[in-house]
């Protein structure tokens, strides 16, 4: 079993829809959590950090559930430009940085 | 502001050849990292340098060596390339090591070993 697991998708949703996906992690000692975005054949870019209290950045909301060991990403009013692969990143310790294999999202007009 | 610059962007090698992937950052970051990304898998950490003068193994270090040449530059060397090292390689940097520090990535080196 992978330490960080994501549904690979693809999630195919119409423009304007709300979409959410989760990432589960197996090690309860994990410390920090992030969502990165990766466009096709491009480098990953930080989308947002994930805090226990939940955090919002415009149309994006991230949540952390330590009891159930998952993080989530909610995208409201999706845009065509949101089409990308979303990578979940978990820091178990300073030197243990685990990337999920990503969830592919495709927004259709 | 270039951020993290990787060279080359593409390379084809024959089995057994050696090469060095170069990475430089202009953000005055202390920590630098090398990852590889393979289809269906997340990025996997090869080596990292928490600060200038230090390097440590990550998850998949076998077959690679690194040099933190100075604060700006962190190179990755394949001494004897193998087909299993065909991958996309990303260099990244962060202001400090670990914790909640986000990483800034270069745009990758696509390496094929024949």
Pairing label, strands A32-38, A11-14: unpaired
The verdict on B48 touching A (C-beta cutoff 8 Å) is: yes
The Cα A62–Cα B28 span in angstroms is 29
Q: Which of residues 4-33 of A touch B (CB under 8 A)?
A: 4, 8, 31-32
CB-nearest partner of A42 from B43, B102, B107: B107
The verdict on B100 touching A (C-beta cutoff 8 Å) is: yes
Task: Tell me the Cα Rg of chain A.
Answer: 13
DSSP code per residue over B5-52: EEE-SEEEE-TT--EEEEEEESS--SEEEEEEE-TTS--EEEEEESST
The Cα B9–Cα A42 span in angstroms is 11
The Cα B89–Cα B12 span in angstroms is 13
pLDDT of residue A108: 96
A-B CB pairs within 8 A amount to 51
Largest Cα separation within chain A, whole Å, is 42
Sign of torsion, CA A33 A38 A44 A48? Answer: negative
pLDDT of residue A65: 93
Could A43 and B106 be called an inter-chain contact, meaning their C-beta atoms sit closer than 8 Å? Answer: yes
pLDDT along chain A (109 residues), means of 10: 89 96 90 92 92 91 94 97 96 82 95
Q: By the 8 A CB rule, do B58 and B3 touch?
A: no
> Which pLDDT tens digit goes with each residue over B45-87?
999 999 888 999 998 999 999 999 899 999 999 999 999 999 9
- The 8-class DSSP code of residue B59 comes to S
């Amino acid at each position: 079993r992978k330490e960080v697991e994501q549904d690979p998708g693809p999630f195919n949703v119409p423009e304007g829809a709300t979409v959410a996906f989760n990432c589960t992690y197996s090690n309860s000692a994990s410390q920090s959590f992030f969502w990165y975005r990766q466009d096709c054949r491009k480098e990953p870019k930080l989308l947002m950090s994930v805090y226990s209290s939940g955090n919002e950045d415009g149309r994006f909301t991230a949540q952390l559930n330590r009891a159930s060991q998952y993080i989530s990403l909610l995208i409201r009013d999706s845009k065509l430009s949101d089409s990308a692969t979303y990578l979940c990143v978990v820091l178990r310790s300073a030197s243990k940085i685990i990337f999920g294999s990503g969830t592919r999202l495709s927004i259709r007009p | 502001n270039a951020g993290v610059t990787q060279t080359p962007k593409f390379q084809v090698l024959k089995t057994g050849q050696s090469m060095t992937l170069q990475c430089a950052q202009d953000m005055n970051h202390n920590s630098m990292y090398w990852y590889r990304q393979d289809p269906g898998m997340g990025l996997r950490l090869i080596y990292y340098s928490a600060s200038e003068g230090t390097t440590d193994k990550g998850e998949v270090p076998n077959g690679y060596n690194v040099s933190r040449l100075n604060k700006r530059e962190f190179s990755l060397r394949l001494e004897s390339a193998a087909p299993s090292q065909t991958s996309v390689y990303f260099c990244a940097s962060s202001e400090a090591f670990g914790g909640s520090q986000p990483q800034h990535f270069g745009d990758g080196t696509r390496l094929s070993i024949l």
